[in-house]
Amino acid sequence: MQVLSKASINGLRALLYLAAQERREGYTGIREMADELDISFHFLTKILQELTQKGVLRSYRGPNGGVALARDPGTLYLEELVLMMEGDDFFDTCLLGLPGCGERKPCPVHAFWKETKAALKKEFQTTSLEELGQQIRVGKVRLAD
């Protein structure tokens, strides 16, 4: 069951890596993140470029350059990030791939799929990078391996 694309997963992991940093000023090199998270440098670069273009990250070139969160991680909730990376219809899909979900006569699994989507959406709406970054800082969870 793969819910997020590899690109989204790696983008999210990088954002969490940044949110978990102790120090807030300065930039974190993409090379360092790629090594630490075990992602290809070039692949991660491409993913982060898009996040920079979308205003979630700011970047800086040259020595000691890298990327940094462009906004307070307390205001960055998973929902916004996932919609940004996966598309705005992320929470509006049919389990059986039928078009017009929710509006028209439902598919046979509508009843519980609707619940599942709603629960997931709510969680994404109420979970911020700040919150998850904190959990990483105290060492309760992992981002790699």
Among positions 25, 88, 138, 140, the unique one binding a copy of itself when judged by CB under 8 A: 140
Least distance (Å) between residue 103 CB and ligand SF4: 8
Site membership for a copy of itself, residue 53 (CB under 8 A): no
CB-based contact 120:91 (threshold 8 Å): yes
Crossing angle of helices 41-53 and 78-86, in 10° steps, is 110
Using the contact rule CB under 7 A, the part of the chain among 16-24, 28-36, 108-116, 117-125 near DNA is: 28-36
Nearer to DNA, 66 or 133 (CB): 66
Least distance (Å) between residue 5 CB and DNA: 4
CA angle, residues 24, 39, 65, in degrees to nearest 5: 40
* CA atoms of 17 and 132, how far apart (whole Å): 10
Using the contact rule CB under 7 A, the part of the chain among 24-32, 73-81, 110-118, 135-143 near DNA is: 24-32
Residue among 85, 88, 121, 115 at smallest CA distance from 102 = 115
Among positions 63, 99, 108, 139, the unique one binding DNA when judged by CB under 7 A: 63
Torsion of CA 69, 70, 72, 77, to 10 degrees: -80
Site for a copy of itself, rule CB under 8 A: 1-4, 6, 9, 12-13, 16, 78, 86, 90-91, 93, 95-100, 104-110, 112, 115-117, 119-120, 123, 127, 132, 135-136, 140-145
Site for ligand SF4, rule CB under 6 A: 94-96, 98, 101-102, 106-107, 109-110, 113-114
